[in-house]
Structure 1
Amino acid sequence: MAKKEKIQEEELKAEEAIAEEAVEETSEAVEELPDTEVIEDEETAQAVEEEEDESLRDQLVRLQADFTNFRNRTQRERIELYQRANEDLLLEILPVLDHYEMGLETAEQHEADKAVVDGFKMVYDQFRNVLKKFNLEPIEAVGQEFDPHKHEALTHMPSDEYPAEVCSNQVRRGYMFGDKLLRAAQVVVSSGPAEASAEKGAE
């Protein structure tokens, strides 16, 4: 047994010696590596670092772009919501304005007290000026060529004053809200002079 143990001990020592020799050889090989390889390692590390920095910059740019788009979209939606709210309010107000205009016209036709009529006209002008501040503009109709994008034709009637396809009368005033049609003007469209219309009908 002692002999066997001695052999095992010698084998272990031999293995340790081989291991130590391998370590020494590896250390010497590392020490003998040329400086260029170290530089290449540094350059590689720097390249990796620059690539990571560039990736982070790209992410930051994309994040900034996404935030800018989000902010613009939110602002646009806020403006659209504000405009829709104004449109709804103005559409509720317009019938009141229509009735006010009819009442004022009736008062003038029946020769009501001038001071009273002038007072109502003043209030009417103030009302119109307030609506104008909100980009509400009346649509010109009478004497204008019929435009289906602004006018709603209720009927065609002969007219000696206006040629065919021209608005000869306005039944209800129309309004533009900025560049958008808020309410079309209801109009009577001329079919031309009565005689010409009759001749055309006879044909």
Structure 2
Amino acid sequence: MKKEAEETVEESTKEEAEKVKEETTEETAEETVDPKDEKIKDLESQINKWKTDYYKVFADMENLKKRLKNEHANQLKYAMQSFIEELLPVIDNYERSLTVEPESEEGKNILKGNKMILNQLMNILGKNGVTVIEAQGKEFDPNMHQAVMQDDNPDFGPNIVTEELQKGYMLKDRVIRATLVKVNKD
């Protein structure tokens, strides 16, 4: 009986050892990853990284194209701005010269001719997108007007332009010179 008990103990320990051995080999098999699978995962991650980098660079290039296109359009749109800015003082002086009242008939004819020349000049500027900023009697707008004086005129409401001291001009939708104005007090 002792022998049988020893054999039973031996068999149970052998079975337990085999079970432990089988479990260990299964765990080892699970832990041991096939090098091909590992290489595939590595290559897939590299592909995803390259795709992401490609899409970022592509998006950056598209944004650069749009920005350059807008800058070019603005450059064309406002190409004449510096020329017009230099011409505005000449127009101001020309307008001032037309305020003189001539005494002779010949002076009146010269004045009439000069007014026609100024109108032609203003028409040419208008065709190229230059407009005069209206200020007299309008509400003061700091984007279009530059207040240089205040007035206390009861005929005008508060914050209304009472007098235009120097004309302002816009080129298309951009103010190239603000109108110098006198504004009624609040």
Per-residue CA deviations over 1:140-165 (Å, capped at 9, x if unaligned) read: 11111111121111111232433332
Residues 70, 122 of structure 1: alpha-carbon distance in 2 compared, 3 angstrom cutoff: same
Is there any run of 5+ residues in structure 1 with no aligned partner, and where?
A: 1-57, 193-203
Residues 66, 170 of structure 1: alpha-carbon distance in 2 compared, 3 angstrom cutoff: same
The residue aligned with 1:171 is 165
Distance in 1 (CA, whole Å) between partners of 2:57 and 2:143 is 43
The residue aligned with 1:72 is 66
| AA partner of residue 102 (structure 1) | R
The residue aligned with 1:98 is 92
The residue aligned with 1:138 is 132
Equivalent residue pairs, number: 151
| AA partner of residue 94 (structure 1) | L
Residues 64, 168 of structure 1: alpha-carbon distance in 2 compared, 3 angstrom cutoff: same
The residue aligned with 2:149 is 155
The residue aligned with 1:117 is 111
Is there any run of 5+ residues in structure 2 with no aligned partner, and where?
A: 1-51
The percentage of counterpart residues that share the same residue type is: 30
| AA partner of residue 138 (structure 1) | V
Aligned residue for 2:119, secondary structure, equals helix
Quote the offset at 1:102 in angstroms: 0.8
| AA partner of residue 180 (structure 2) | Q
The residue aligned with 2:16 is none
Distance in 2 (CA, whole Å) between partners of 1:148 and 1:70 is 34
Aligned residue for 2:157, secondary structure, equals coil
- Decide which structure has greater helix share: 1
Residues 74, 161 of structure 1: alpha-carbon distance in 2 compared, 3 angstrom cutoff: same
Aligned residue for 2:148, secondary structure, equals strand
TM-score norm. by structure 2 comes to: 0.60
The residue aligned with 1:189 is 183
| AA partner of residue 127 (structure 2) | K
TM-score norm. by structure 1 comes to: 0.56
The residue aligned with 2:20 is none
Residues 65, 165 of structure 1: alpha-carbon distance in 2 compared, 3 angstrom cutoff: closer
